[in-house]
Structure 1
C-alpha cells in the first residue's frame, strides 16, 4: 500500500489575464518571496497563449497557487477572504500599505483600532484583499 500524502491547503488565486503581473508584483514587495514555477498556455490549448496555466509562488514560506482563468465568470475576489500580514515594524506596514493600496481601494485606513495599535486593510489593484497588522 502506498504511503498517504499529507493533506496540504494552499491559497489559490484566479486571475483573468494578469496573474504573472500579480505574481511579479507580490514577490517584489516582500524580502522572503520567490516565484517557484510558471506553466503557460501554449498554442492550441484552452487558454490564451502565454498566459498562466498554473503557477506557484511563495511569500515568507507560505505557498500560493494561481492561474489565469480561461473561462468567463461573473465573480472575482471578495474582501470576505483576505491575506493577513503581521508586519515587523512601522516602516514595513507603511511601505506595504502604500504599495498595495496604490491603484487599489482602502477598506480601512492605517490607524489604531480596538484590536490593534496599527492596522490597515486594502484591496489591491488586482482585487485581492490584504489585512496589514503591526503587533503591539
Structure 2
C-alpha cells in the first residue's frame, strides 16, 4: 500500500466501480495519479480483479477507495461532499460539466451570494462535489 504521509485521508467505498471512479477523477485534475492498487484474486471475498484497496492523488491530495465485497444498505450522501476551489472559469466549467454527465445537479452552476460562481453536483458514482471559483 505504500506510505501515505497525509494524516487524514478521504476514503470512498464503492461496490464494483472504484477503479472507474478513481480513473475518472484523476482525469479531471492536474497533478493527479493512481498511487497504488491491490485487487481481489480468484476465490477471495470480492469479485476477482475488483479493488481491495487503492490510493490515488487529486491535485496532490491523497484519497483511498475500495470495492466493498459486502452489499450495504447505504451509499454516498450529499451530507458530505468534496469541495473544490477552482482557479479559473474554464476549470470550473469543465469539471462541473464532466461531473454532471450521468449524475445529477443539486445546485446549478451560477452566481450565489457566497460565490461569484458555484455549483453542486452528484456524479454518476454518487459522490457529491461542490465547486467554487477562487477569488483572485
TM superposition shift of 1:135: 2.2
Tell me which residue corresponds to 1:3: none
Tell me which residue corresponds to 1:120: 119
Give the gaps of 5 or more residues in structure 2. Answer: none
Change beyond 3 A, Cα 1:127–1:89: same
In the alignment, does 2:51 pair up with 1:52?
yes
TM superposition shift of 1:7: 8.0
TM superposition shift of 1:88: 0.7
Give the Cα separation in 2 of the matches to 1:32 and 1:102. 23
Give the Cα separation in 2 of the matches to 1:32 and 1:131. 20
Tell me which residue corresponds to 1:31: 30
Give the Cα separation in 2 of the matches to 1:7 and 1:90. 29
SS of match in other structure, 1:8: coil
- Which structure would you say has the larger Rg? 1
TM-score, normalised to structure 2, is 0.93
Give the gaps of 5 or more residues in structure 1. Answer: 1-5
Contact persistence 2:6–2:62 (CA under 8 A): no
For residues 11-53 of structure 1, the C-alpha deviation after alignment (integer angstroms, 9 at most, x for no partner) is 0000010100001111111111000000000012111100000
TM superposition shift of 1:101: 0.3
User: What is the root-mean-square deviation of aligned Cα atoms in Å?
Assistant: 1.2
TM superposition shift of 1:104: 0.3
State how many pairs are aligned.
131
